[in-house]
Structure 1
């Protein structure tokens, strides 16, 4: 379970920013039966979802990118291909104080009933520091701490001392990643948690549409789940199939380089399939408006952009709910009807529909979600840029005197909570001279 993420000096964020799914006492007795996950072992209550608002270019997407960078770097820094590659971290560039300073990332999560706190500081060339702590009940125990290439390791808990002694940790690689690649069991557990931290863009669904297609091909029950998911959205889809590429009848305009890549892959594995499209089936009606048969549609050519996105979401959403994972989406509501977005959020907040306590973090411009009664004050977050170009991240629960029954949407649009664009100059844009 996701507990808290903190980062500093990354892209448009200069100072430390923190998003927490720890429920606050400020919202005690508000939607506790639905929106909260009790974690009695650590005397915690965690939120099932969080929503982030802000003006354009205020940092909403950069928050998602910070999480995405940390995940990617943990999963890939030990690979041989990264030996001479710069670390893909970007500091805040609008201040001479930070441009040459390292960026900081730290995440707290619970996995298999143990709470972990893991983080690192890095610039484009090297790791400045790295740390890992765990807590089984009350006391937090240090598993390792790294200061550049000096390591302090709890040898009984974290069995990677030989990697350090044999200089197997590169300056630009994370100890955690290298330990996982050498099958250290504790490191692999943490590595696996990062792997199940699902981060996607709601603006470009091409990146996970293929995942949803492959998931359907993998198991018959996955196809049934996907069909129910689509039917629930009133898209007119009765059934679907995944279309595979016909290698013997590729179109003439098919790129030659791609043909060669397919031939090579098939030579390595004759069983491999290349998924090319989703075929959806819609009812056709006769002159008496009676259903007579089903008509095939191509997802790529015939379905709307909203339908394409909703289908693409099916894999990440259903898998996250099934396994009790975390899903982080940049612009979840984009292309979707507000009622449909609301239903998705209700599923994550529901005790009945989300028994495995999956979590959802997303950003949006859909202010209508603020008036829906879906969120507690501690679930609502904002990003805002100051006059020096630096973004800040804060929660509605940080404000004093905000009543839980007040109209959050109205007050947000009016600017009571900040995080809206300053548009006075817009009034003069088309003024007559």
Structure 2
């Protein structure tokens, strides 16, 4: 590990060890471990052809790690996507999340073709390699507007590929054909009878609690997308509500975690607590009226998840210049403080149980040191003993630099840009010739890797130089 990584992670690692000793941290054996190895999607929104990401080290030349090695030893903990606005960065991240949601929710739409007319008649294809408890699986599917044309799952327990199932359907009115492999044990025939053209067989098997397929589906769902952290205000509020729920359900553990996150980020916050208030009767009546207008029925009770955002809020304890303490509400905190807690709390949750965290625009409202700290949390093996993974997009080119030393390796970076026809492309940094010690930040900003916005201010000259045109 590089010296700067040890330095950045030292405070957080120390707190995590203290949590373990005090019983605040989770016992790691409670969950099975899943990892995303490779993800490829094609004919998906702005991507006309294949776009793929990989966490696998180029040094792995076989289907499985060698003797004495684990998947954590031959995979990266992070994958970063850089590029200009509207280049497709968010699209590739959302595709990963979409597959995870489709496994959790049968019937989720998976056909999102490229804008060209001909693309609507071809499938959106997904190709995923992942692991569950050190066993490698390969999952493929082709989605049409009418449903799933093809779906297959293979395992590779000891380097030998085995078919678990292949599901095919030639058209919306054609029968669904499922061919199960000899190694697949469980009620596959019963699951087949429940599958409709729009369902993934793997998703239905998970709902049916298929002996062999449910654990694999759960692993793919976790490995494909444990938590997608978006950048919108609504998404941020959802994550803060999630955090407050954790703090209420398990205050001993989560209050300590949130306090540590505040201290690590040097936010000037001594502690954070959840305040629950009685919702005024007038507000309840208005909420009941809105719900009644939407459903046509007057609800006897307002759902708890509708009341929580109104009744709960975070309260922050600060220290004054003379050492006195005072409290301020969430609305009085900086955007950076809120953004840090909203992003770092889901990161801690993924670090606790393994899986993948997907973050769109990691650097939104965050100081570069905090963006770096989030990445370091995943790369530090003491903080991340379960091999959790982070997939993120960013405009923070400092993450590519060498100061004080390099944080992202050449196999952990991808560049996203659009070609002359307007289709997005995803290119790994490893596709370019690089040398040890190269400053990739400088090379990127000088256009060596493309994926930069083409800024042209000439069109503004006439507008700003014409005083008669001003209102």
How is 1:56-135 mapped onto 2 (pairs within 5 angstroms)? 56-77=85-106, 82=107, 87=109, 89-93=111-115, 95-135=116-156
Is the CA contact (8 Å cut-off) linking 2:136 and 2:157 kept in structure 1?
Answer: yes
| Aligned partner of 1:277 among 295, 313, 324 | 313
| Aligned partner of 1:264 among 281, 296, 301 | 301
Q: Deviations over 1:77-116 (max 9, x none)?
A: 1xxxx5xxx82531001x2331221101122111112111
| Aligned partner of 2:231 among 202, 207, 222 | 202
CA separation of 1:346 and 1:161: change in aligned 2, threshold 3 A: closer
Following the alignment from structure 2 to structure 1, what is the Cα–Cα distance between the partners of residues 195 and 182? 16
- Aligned length, in residue pairs: 405
Report the counterpart of residue 370 of structure 1 in structure 2: 400
Deviation, 1:250, is: 5.7
Is the CA contact (8 Å cut-off) linking 2:191 and 2:204 kept in structure 1?
Answer: no
Q: Deviations over 1:394-430 (max 9, x none)?
A: 111011x31131111111011100111223x433442
CA separation of 1:273 and 1:397: change in aligned 2, threshold 3 A: closer
| Aligned partner of 2:184 among 143, 157, 167 | 157
Following the alignment from structure 1 to structure 2, what is the Cα–Cα distance between the partners of residues 262 and 393? 49
CA separation of 1:337 and 1:113: change in aligned 2, threshold 3 A: same
Following the alignment from structure 2 to structure 1, what is the Cα–Cα distance between the partners of residues 266 and 299? 37
Is the CA contact (8 Å cut-off) linking 1:69 and 1:89 kept in structure 2?
Answer: no
| Aligned partner of 2:421 among 356, 364, 388 | 388
Deviation, 1:254, is: 4.9
How is 1:137-176 mapped onto 2 (pairs within 5 angstroms)? 137-148=158-169, 149-154=176-181, 156-163=183-190, 167-176=193-202
Q: Secondary structure at the match of 1:23?
A: coil
**Which stretch shows the higher mean deviation, 127-136 or 204-213?**
204-213
Report the counterpart of residue 246 of structure 1 in structure 2: 278
Unpaired runs of 5+ residues, structure 1, are 27-37
Is the CA contact (8 Å cut-off) linking 2:288 and 2:299 kept in structure 1?
Answer: no
| Aligned partner of 2:367 among 328, 337, 358 | 337
More strand by share: 1
**Which stretch shows the higher mean deviation, 199-208 or 125-134?**
199-208
2:437 is the counterpart of 1:405: yes
Q: Secondary structure at the match of 1:10?
A: coil
Report the counterpart of residue 83 of structure 2 in structure 1: 54
Normalised TM-score (structure 2):
0.79
| Aligned partner of 1:359 among 376, 389, 393 | 389
Q: Deviations over 1:97-153 (max 9, x none)?
A: 312211011221111121111121112321010011111121011100111111111
Report the counterpart of residue 328 of structure 2 in structure 1: 297
**Which stretch shows the higher mean deviation, 60-69 or 203-212?**
203-212
Is the CA contact (8 Å cut-off) linking 1:151 and 1:164 kept in structure 2?
Answer: no
Unpaired runs of 5+ residues, structure 2, are 1-34, 61-66, 170-175, 293-297, 467-471
Following the alignment from structure 2 to structure 1, what is the Cα–Cα distance between the partners of residues 290 and 274? 20
Report the counterpart of residue 35 of structure 1 in structure 2: none
Following the alignment from structure 2 to structure 1, what is the Cα–Cα distance between the partners of residues 50 and 161? 22
CA separation of 1:257 and 1:141: change in aligned 2, threshold 3 A: farther
CA separation of 1:105 and 1:302: change in aligned 2, threshold 3 A: same
Q: Secondary structure at the match of 1:24?
A: coil
Is the CA contact (8 Å cut-off) linking 1:51 and 1:362 kept in structure 2?
Answer: yes
Deviation, 1:297, is: 1.3
Q: Secondary structure at the match of 1:99?
A: helix
| Aligned partner of 1:17 among 38, 43, 51 | 51
Q: Deviations over 1:367-390 (max 9, x none)?
A: 111114101111111111111111
Following the alignment from structure 1 to structure 2, what is the Cα–Cα distance between the partners of residues 354 and 252? 44
Following the alignment from structure 1 to structure 2, what is the Cα–Cα distance between the partners of residues 179 and 147? 16
Report the counterpart of residue 28 of structure 2 in structure 1: none
Is the CA contact (8 Å cut-off) linking 2:59 and 2:74 kept in structure 1?
Answer: no
